[in-house]
Amino acid sequence: MKILFLNLPYKFNISRSSRWPEKTKSGTLYYPYWLCYAAGVCMKRGHKVKVVDCITKKYDTEQTVQIVEKSTPDYIMAEITTSTCTEDYKVLESIKKACPSTKIIIGGTHATALSEQVLKECDAIDIVVRQEYDFLLSDVVEADGDIEKIKGITYRSGSKIIRNEDRIWTENLDDIPFVSKVYEKFLNPNDYFYAFARKPMIQIFSSRGCLYRCNFCSYPETMTGRNVRKRSSKNFVDEIEYICKKMPYIQEIFIEDDTFTADKSRVVEICDEIIKRNLKPVWSCNTRADLPYDVMKKMKEAGCRLLVVGYESGNQNVLNETKKGIKLEQSLMFAQNTKKLKLKVFGCFMIGLKGDNRETIEETFQFAKKVYPDMIFFQQAVPFPGTGFYQWAKENGYLKTEDYAKWLNKDGYLDCLVNYPYADAKEIEKIRDQLMTRYYFSFTYIVKTFLMNLSWVEFKRVTKAGFTYILFRIKKLFH
């Protein structure tokens, strides 16, 4: 079968694979990694595959339709998100009108959480593949229309919409081809950028799933689930070695796992294998503030440069309400240890979480100054469908809108979508921007950042991210 994997066009640079799909203030643009993992599996199974990133190609709807007509695929695989779905539907309808015999399959967080609603809203979509869809997509394609017994899909059958039972993921992740090879074949790594990573960077998984219960996080609730599945340490380091030797232009590897450091003994095992092979990768990962010093030290020895940590709040009650499972004392110790080891930290904080108020938000800012990450992210909590936070906001009548066409503002940024008793959505937006300004434009932070990033590689990265953010703030002043 011929399968065309499309990262659908959009008027802004949107990272649909991101847990935060918007035009970022720092210029970040993710790889379409879910599409690429599925493309790798389909190639391995003998299908003819093409991956086209319409966003990096800057294609509009008309150009995208022309690509489809020229490719004559049997199937199109694409993703939609909550913040882009309204425009995504229009593109898909144009494709279907031009190529009515081509089956359109859709995945992603939004499609997983609201699969039946998505099919009702867009007649162009034939099938939704829920959660991870690497192997699932291949099963659908190879069924050649006989899909009634395939678990994990929602589909049309005449005038009916049928949701099959959920799939239990039993596949060995080592069976998935290296996504780095898929990137190499179809994409240009220089098109992608992470504000905190050296460019060009690359994104890969070592595991999927998350044991933790943070009620604002959409990925475990939709895509990856709570059952953690892992690649073997050998298989994962094999891909790191491939990147180091076959893609030497890659400056940094980002491990995209929900929490790479959840299994600490496995982290040490992977690091030992990297050191044993005498590899010299520069890499970063998502972690939690419960990471002990000895594991952190081993990671540093194996090439870890930066840790992305969700501190979220500086108030313990708010952390408890979000089911974070972290104590403030652990966050303080984490920060101290990273400074001892000279590991860079990107600290994520949210405002407007369950349990928040104006006082706790200010506590969060003061706590951020204590842990003092190299880079920081103050962002409003977003009620993504499928999360506990969404359910809480909906039940309390706090949702500003459920019209997804209004999720992004005219500049492509996620709007504040919750009106709280202590602050409406507009006030939350102002508070968020003030916190960012207070942190980033302090004299101490500016001097520290300059002194800590004297190497040319780091200086370029920081300058690009900083300049993009300053432009964002200037633009807001004139709105």
| CA gap 179, 468 in Å, rounded | 29
3-state secondary structure 75-98: EEEEECCCCCHHHHHHHHHHHHHH
| CA gap 233, 227 in Å, rounded | 18
23 band by pLDDT with thresholds 50, 70 and 90: confident
Instruction: Say if residue 478's pLDDT is above 70.
Output: no
H or E, element range at 51: strand 48-53
466 band by pLDDT with thresholds 50, 70 and 90: low
Residue 147 CB: number of other CB atoms within 10 A?
17
Evaluate the CA torsion angle 216, 404, 76, 154 in order and state its sign.
positive
Instruction: Say if residue 476's pLDDT is above 70.
Output: no
Q: ∠ at Cα 475 (469, 478), nearest 5°?
A: 150
pLDDT tens string 69-109: 999 999 999 999 999 999 999 999 999 999 999 999 999 99
Token pair listed for 364: 């969060």
User: Residue 440's pLDDT is what?
Assistant: 85
Q: Hey, which residues does 408 pair with through a beta bridge?
A: 414
Residue 278 CB: number of other CB atoms within 10 A?
8
243-247-252-257 Cα dihedral, nearest 10 degrees: -40
pLDDT, mean of residues 339-357: 97
pLDDT tens string 33-59: 999 999 999 999 999 999 999 999 999
User: Residue 379's pLDDT is what?
Assistant: 94
pLDDT, mean of residues 300-319: 98
User: Is this model's pTM higher than 0.75 or not?
Assistant: yes
pLDDT tens string 276-286: 999 999 999 99
Burial class (CB in 10 A: 0-12, 13-18, 19+), 351: buried
**Widest pairwise Cα distance in the chain:** 65
Token pair listed for 340: 């001892």
Instruction: Say if residue 474's pLDDT is above 80.
Output: no
pLDDT, mean of residues 143-166: 95
At 74, is the secondary structure helix, strand, or coil? coil
User: Residue 141's pLDDT is what?
Assistant: 96
User: Residue 33's pLDDT is what?
Assistant: 98
Q: ∠ at Cα 366 (341, 408), nearest 5°?
A: 95
pLDDT, mean of residues 440-462: 58
366-376 burial string, b = 16+ CB within 10 Å, else e? ebbeebbbbbb
20 band by pLDDT with thresholds 50, 70 and 90: confident
Strands (E), 271-374: 283-287, 304-312, 344-351
* Phi, psi of 357, deg, nearest 5: -155, -175
H or E, element range at 106: strand 103-107
Token pair listed for 109: 């967080």
Q: In what order do the strands lie in the sheet with 201-204?
A: 201-204, 252-255, 283-287, 304-312, 344-351, 375-380
Instruction: Say if residue 468's pLDDT is above 90.
Output: no
At 360, is the secondary structure helix, strand, or coil? helix
Using omega within 30 degrees of 0 as the cis cutoff, is the peptide bond preceding 200 cis?
Answer: yes
444 band by pLDDT with thresholds 50, 70 and 90: low
Instruction: Say if residue 470's pLDDT is above 60.
Output: no
Cα separations in angstroms, 306 against 60, 278, 315:
36, 20, 25
| CA gap 243, 266 in Å, rounded | 21
* Beta carbons within 8 Å of 360's beta carbon, 6+ residues apart: 313, 314, 315, 317, 318
User: Residue 447's pLDDT is what?
Assistant: 58
Token pair listed for 58: 């800057």
pLDDT, mean of residues 302-313: 98
User: Which amino acid belongs to residue 242?
Assistant: Y
As a whole number of Å, the end-to-end CA separation of the chain is: 50
| CA gap 306, 328 in Å, rounded | 21
Q: ∠ at Cα 62 (57, 66), nearest 5°?
A: 80
Higher pLDDT, 227 or 472: 227
Token pair listed for 213: 């219960």
Tell me how long the chain is: 479
Instruction: Say if residue 454's pLDDT is above 80.
Output: no
| CA gap 157, 145 in Å, rounded | 11
| CA gap 296, 275 in Å, rounded | 15
Residue 123 CA, distance from chain mean position: 27
Token pair listed for 108: 């992603």
Token pair listed for 8: 């659908």
| CA gap 21, 275 in Å, rounded | 35
Pairing state between β 283-287 and 48-53: unpaired
Instruction: Say if residue 449's pLDDT is above 90.
Output: no
**Quick one: which of 337, 306, 307 has its CA closest to 458?**
306
What is the crossing angle of helices 233-246 and 179-186, to 10°?
30
